[in-house]
Structure formats: structure tokens, C-alpha cells
């Protein structure tokens, strides 16, 4: 059977029997077409297909420097196509299980202590929006909250007197996070001077816009970009950068890995361990700099 016929038969299966959306099918077909473009005239009919095809294709993509995530996706799409051909008895060999290249974990971007200080000092100390924004920045950096957790923070979740907040994170897991004096003072200033006069002061949410509505993640994303520009920070940062900075600085100052894991709400310690690579990288960099002096 010609390869084109094989692909048409597979598309029919995906559309009729699997009921997949057109965009999903198009994505699969695009990956399969890329696979056959690599082999060119060597793969015209199903008789030309070999058990080694997938491995050969993966190695070629890896040598071309493609991202592991791209290789894994294309490999998965093509392997499913081969499995379909095997089930339909169009090819008569078993499809091997192939482990795609491991994804390279990128070290998270974080701010230096100086950059954090400049960012926290950027909001206006006199305008209602500035006082609110500074409280949000201080809380996020001081607790490592996710941005969704920050904008949904409720009045009942904060205990200013005892210095902690209670957060319901991913998987509806509750965690209690201590809050430092700077963040508590900034929050208290916002609550007592600004929020008390807000039209939405009866709202359960802490951080509100001037109309009394809770803020969105997108709003805070744009806000932090604005303050980074004002502070002269050239890194491409997002709200998550403050979470990364919190974790990195905690470990730099001797915090236990398990304690940081609990505060961040990570279900696996391996997720938190990425920050130990960051701190190790900084130590090695400082050591190299010292040796070059």
C-alpha cells in the first residue's frame, strides 16, 4: 500500500473511530509528514517501512539539535501511526518502545537581592494603586505564592497578628506560610489606608481594583512588567520570577529543602531541588570569578 493511502486510512480512523478534532488530526499528520520528508524517496509504500525507522529518525533529529520536547512529540505521533499500521496488518513487525531524549530542565530565572529591592521600591508610596501593588509584591516575594494564589488571597486566610497566611493550593492542599515583617507592614498599610475605602471592601478578596473587583493574573503580570522597567531590570521577568527568587534566596540563606518545598506547595521534592542547582551554579560562578582575580 502506498504511504499516502496509509495516511488517509489513518486519518479516517482518527476522525471516525477516535472522534478527534480536526486541529488534533492536522497536528498528527503534520508530524507524520515531517517523518516521511526525512526519508524522502526511500519510503514510498508500506513495504519500505522498517523496524529501525523510528530510532533512525529520532537520532537524526537529536543530531540536528531539535528540542527534546519537539522530538518526543514527533516520535509519539509517528509511533502511533506505525502501531495503527501494525494493528491493521499493513506491516508485520512489532513496534519497539523507544524512550525519547530527556527534556533538559531550564534553570529558573530569579532576581538578585539588589534587583528585588529595586523592584519592591518601584511602586508609588503615595497612590492607592502603588500602595496596593507594593503589598502584592512584598507578599509574593515574602511567601513564594503562585500568582493565582496571590490574586485569590482572602481576608480570612491572613493572620497579621501571628504573622502567617493559609493558602489552598494545587490539589486543594492547604499550607500555612509564615510572613515577614516587611510584607506584613505593606499589607497592613494597604488594608488600613486603602482597601477600607474601596467600593468592594466587603469582598472576601484582599486585592481589589478601584471598582471593588478582584484582580486577574494578567493584570498583575502587566503590573510587574511595568515595575521591572521602572526599576531598570533588564531580565524578562514574570510574577513567577518572584516565586523563583523567594525559593532561591531562602536556600541561599540556609533554609531546609523540605521547608521550602512545603512553603511552595510542591508535591515532589524533585521540583524544589531545581533551586539547589541554581544556588550551586551561583557558588561555582563566584568561585570561578575569584580564581580569575
Active site annotation includes 170: yes
Catalytic residue (choose from 73, 225, 240, 282)? 240
- Where residue 145 falls (left for φ over 0; alpha for ψ -120 to 50; beta otherwise) is beta
Catalytic residue (choose from 118, 225, 266, 282)? 266
> Taking each helix axis from N to C terminus, what angle separates 3-12 and 68-87, rounded to the nearest 10 degrees?
90
Catalytic residue (choose from 57, 82, 227, 275)? 275
Active site annotation includes 146: yes
Active site annotation includes 240: yes
Please give the grid coordinates belonging to residue 273. Answer: 531541588
Catalytic residue (choose from 170, 217, 226, 292)? 170
Please give the grid coordinates belonging to residue 88. Answer: 491493521
- With beta carbons less than 8 A apart as the criterion, state whether 140 and 130 touch: no
How far is the C-alpha of 98 from the C-alpha of 276, rounded, in Å? 31
Q: Which residues contact 50 (CB under 8 A, 6 or more apart)?
A: none
Catalytic residue (choose from 74, 243, 244, 249)? 243
> Taking each helix axis from N to C terminus, what angle separates 239-252 and 257-264, rounded to the nearest 10 degrees?
160
Q: Which residues contact 9 (CB under 8 A, 6 or more apart)?
A: 1, 88, 90
For CA atoms 35, 37, 40, 46, give the dihedral sign. Answer: positive
How far is the C-alpha of 247 from the C-alpha of 242, rounded, in Å? 9
Please give the grid coordinates belonging to residue 133. Answer: 501593588
Q: Which residues contact 122 (CB under 8 A, 6 or more apart)?
A: 227, 228, 230, 231
Catalytic residue (choose from 79, 146, 244, 249)? 146
Catalytic residue numbers, as ranges? 146, 170, 240, 243, 266, 275
Amino acid at each position: 500500500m502506498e504511504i499516502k493511502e496509509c495516511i488517509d486510512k489513518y486519518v479516517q480512523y482518527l476522525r471516525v473511530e477516535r472522534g478527534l478534532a480536526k486541529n488534533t488530526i492536522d497536528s498528527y499528520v503534520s508530524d507524520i509528514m515531517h517523518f516521511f520528508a526525512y526519508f524522502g524517496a526511500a519510503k514510498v509504500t508500506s513495504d519500505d517501512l522498517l523496524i529501525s525507522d523510528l530510532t533512525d529518525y529520532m537520532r537524526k533529529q537529536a543530531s540536528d539539535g531539535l528540542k527534546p520536547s519537539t522530538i518526543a512529540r514527533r516520535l509519539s505521533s509517528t509511533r502511533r501511526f506505525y502501531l495503527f499500521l501494525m494493528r491493521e496488518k499493513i506491516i508485520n513487525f512489532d513496534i519497539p518502545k523507544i524512550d525519547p531524549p530527556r527534556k533538559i530542565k531550564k534553570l529558573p530565572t530569579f532576581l538578585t537581592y539588589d534587583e528585588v529591592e529595586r523592584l519592591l521600591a518601584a511602586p508609588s508610596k503615595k497612590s492607592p494603586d502603588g500602595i496596593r501593588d507594593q503589598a502584592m509584591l512584598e507578599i509574593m516575594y515574602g511567601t513564594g505564592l503562585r500568582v493565582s494564589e496571590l490574586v485569590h488571597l482572602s481576608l480570612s486566610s491572613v493572620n497579621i497578628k501571628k504573622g502567617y497566611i493559609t493558602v489552598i493550593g494545587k490539589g486543594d492542599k492547604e499550607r500555612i506560610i509564615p510572613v515577614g515583617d516587611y510584607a506584613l507592614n505593606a499589607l497592613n498599610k494597604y488594608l488600613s489606608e486603602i482597601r477600607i475605602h474601596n467600593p468592594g471592601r466587603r469582598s472576601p478578596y484582599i486585592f481589589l481594583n478601584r471598582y471593588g473587583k478582584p484582580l486577574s493574573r494578567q493584570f498583575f503580570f502587566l503590573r510587574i512588567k511595568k515595575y521591572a522597567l521602572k526599576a531598570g531590570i533588564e531580565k524578562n521577568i514574570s510574577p513567577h520570577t518572584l516565586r523563583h527568587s523567594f525559593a532561591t534566596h531562602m536556600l541561599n540563606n540556609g533554609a531546609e529543602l523540605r521547608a521550602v518545598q512545603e512553603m511552595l506547595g510542591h508535591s515532589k521534592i524533585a521540583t524544589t531541588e531545581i533551586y539547589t542547582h541554581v544556588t550551586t551554579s551561583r557558588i561555582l560562578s563566584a568561585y570561578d570569578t575569584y580564581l580569575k582575580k
